[in-house]
Amino acid sequence: MEEARALLLARALEEGDRTGELTSARERERAGAEARASGGEGADTTRLVARARALVELAAGRERAVKALAAGSTTGAGAVWMAPLALVLGLSTHLLGGRSVNVLAFPLLGALVWNATVYLLLLVAWIRGLARREVGATSSHGLLSGLVSSRLGARVTRLVTGAGARSSGVLTAVGARFADLWLACVRPLLVTRVRVALHVSAAALVAGLVAGMYLRGIAFEYRAQWESTFLGPDAARALLGTLLGPASHLSGIALPDLAAIHGTGEGAGGPAAPWIHLWAITAGLFVVVPRLALAALDAGHAARLSRALPFPMSEVYWRRLRGSGGAEVRVLVVPYGAAPAPRVADRLRVLLHDLLGARAEIVQADALEYGAEGQAIEPPPEPGCLVLLFALAQTPELEVHARLLAELRARTTPGGRLLVVVDGSAYAERLGEGATGRERLAERRRAWDRAAREAGLAVTHIDLAVGLDEQDLERAEAALWTAPGGGGAS
C-alpha cells in the first residue's frame, strides 16, 4: 500500500505540477535513470517505485504539504468505533422498557426484519454484480462508496491546506489529482472495511439486546404477554412457530402455550424465560452468525486488497513510463507522399519522446511515393514503433491508403506498435480561419478516420506546426496503446 501511495503521489506531482516548481523535468529524468540503474532490466514495478519515492522525497523537501500527503493519506482500519457503540446501545435499550414483553412485538423482532431486508438487498446487489461482469459493465459505487470518497477527499484537502503550502496553486492541483488517483485505488478497500464494521456492528447490537435482557432478568422478573387486533390464537401460534421453530427444534424448548399468556395488564402473562431463550437463539441463528460470516468474508477480501491494491498499470501513464525504462525503443518514422517540413519533424520527435520516453531512438526514413505497397516498409521493430506520417492535404483512398494500412497492420507483431499520424498543419494554413475552412478540415479528418477504420486502426490528428498540447498527447497515447501489437508492450 505504501508503494501504491508513492506511485500515485509521484504521478500527481507530474500531472499537477506542469511548470516543474516541485520537481523539474531534468530531476524526473534523473530519478528514472537512477531507478533503472538500481533496478535492472525487467524489474518494471521495482523501478517505478524507486523513481516515485525519489520524486516524492525531493518534492517533500521543498514543500511540507507533499510530506503531509505522503504520510497522512492512510486508509486506517475502518470504522472500528461502530461495533463498541452498537454493543453499548443494545445493552442500554432494556433500561427504557418495563418488566413485561409482548411476544408478538419482541424487541428483537425489528432487528430480525431489518437484517432480513439487508440480506435481500445484498443478494440483489450480488446478482446485479454478476450480470454487470457478464456484460463487461462497470459497477456503480453506491451511497456507501460515495460517503467514503467524500470523507477521504476532504481529508486530502485538509492535508494540503493545513500544511501552510507556499505554492498554493500548484499544491491545490497536485492535491486534487492525488485525491482522484488515491480514491480510485483505495475505494474498494475502504468500502470493504466499512462493510466489515457494519456487519460486526449489526451483530454487536443484537448481542447487546440479548445480553441486556439476560442481565436485567437476573434482578427483575419479565412477564410474557401478547395481544393483537388482527391475529387470533391460531394465527399468532402459526406466526411464532415459523419465526421461532428453528430455535425450538435446535434447543428442545417447546413453544409455550399462547392461551396462558393472552392479554396485558398487571397479573396477566406468564414466565418469559422460555420466550427469551427462543428469541435469543433465533437472533443468533439469523443475525449474529450470518453477520459475522459476512464480516469474515469481507475481512478476507479486505486483507487481499491491502496486500495488493487493484492498480491500473495498463493505463497510458504507466505504460509510457514502463516503455521508457528498459532497452531503448526503436522508432521508425515513415512519411507518405512527401517529407515533412523541419519544424513538423521536430515537433513529431518531441511527441514521440513524450510517448515513448527520452531514450527512444527515432529515425526518419525517406518518404514513400504515392501508391507504395506495404512490403516497401519494414514491420514495426520489436520492441519498437512504426509511425506512418500522412498529410491531411492528401485525400485518402480506400484502394491506396486503407490497403497500405491494412497490410502494415497484418505484419505488425505482438511486440511492435503501429501509430498513424495525420498532420493537418499545411492544409489548415491553406484553408484559413473561416467557418468554411473549419468544416472542410473536419470533413477531411472524417475521411481519414473512415479509411483507417477499414484497416482496423485509429488516426491521430495533430497540427504539428502550431505545437502540441495535452489533448494531442492523450490522443496519440490512446491510438498508440490500442494499436495492433500494443498489448504486448506492457
Q: How far apart are alpha carbons 222 and 470 in whole angstroms?
A: 74
7: helix, strand or coil: helix
Residue 428 has which C-alpha cell?
489548415
Secondary structure, 3-state, 159-186: HHHHCCCCCHHHHHHHHHHHHHHHHHHH
Mean pLDDT of the chain: 78
Q: Which pLDDT score is estimated for 337?
A: 84
Q: Which pLDDT score is estimated for 386?
A: 86
Q: Where are the alpha helices (DSSP H) in 17-106?
A: 25-39, 44-62, 64-72, 82-93
Q: 416-446: string of b/e by CB count within 10 Å (b at 16+)?
A: bbbbbbbbbbbbbeebeeeeeeeeebeebbe
**From the candidate CATH numbers 3.40.50, 1.20.1650, 2.60.120, 3.30.70, the one assigned to the domain spanning 328-489:** 3.40.50
Q: Which residue is associated with the grid cell 434447543?
A: 251
Which residues does 242 contact at the CB level (< 8 Å), separation at least 6? none
Of the given ranges (216-230, 281-295, 346-360, 423-437), which has the lowest mean pLDDT? 346-360
- Omega within 30 of 0 (cis) for the link into 188: no
Confidence of residue 12 (pLDDT cuts 50, 70, 90): confident
Lateral strand order in the sheet of 270-271: 100-102, 223-225, 270-271
Confidence of residue 61 (pLDDT cuts 50, 70, 90): confident
Note whether 3 and 34 are within 8 A (CB).
Answer: no
pTM above 0.75, yes or no: no
Most confidently modeled range among 22-31, 233-242, 287-296: 287-296
Report the Cα 231 to chain-centroid distance in Å.
51
Is 80 exceeded by the pLDDT of residue 481? no
Q: How far apart are alpha carbons 245 and 242 in whole angstroms?
A: 5
- Number of CB atoms found within 10 A of residue 266's CB: 7
Q: Taking the CA of residue 40 as centre, how many other CA atoms within 13 Å lie in the half-sphere pointing to its CB?
A: 2
- Number of CB atoms found within 10 A of residue 319's CB: 21
Q: Rounded mean pLDDT of 465-473?
A: 66
Confidence of residue 472 (pLDDT cuts 50, 70, 90): low
Question: DSSP string covering 338-362, please?
Answer: SPPPHHHHHHHHHHHHHHH-TT-EE
Q: How far apart are alpha carbons 334 and 389 in whole angstroms?
A: 6
Return residue ranges of the chain for CATH 3.40.50: 328-489
What percent of the chain has a predicted confidence (pLDDT) above 90?
15
Report the Cα 76 to chain-centroid distance in Å.
18
Is 80 exceeded by the pLDDT of residue 137? no
Is 80 exceeded by the pLDDT of residue 38? no
Is 60 exceeded by the pLDDT of residue 324? no
Closest by CA position to 17, among listed 63, 48, 74, 51: 63
Q: Dihedral sign for Cα 420, 426, 430, 431, please.
A: positive
- For 293-319, what is each residue's pLDDT tens digit? 999 999 999 888 888 776 666 565 676
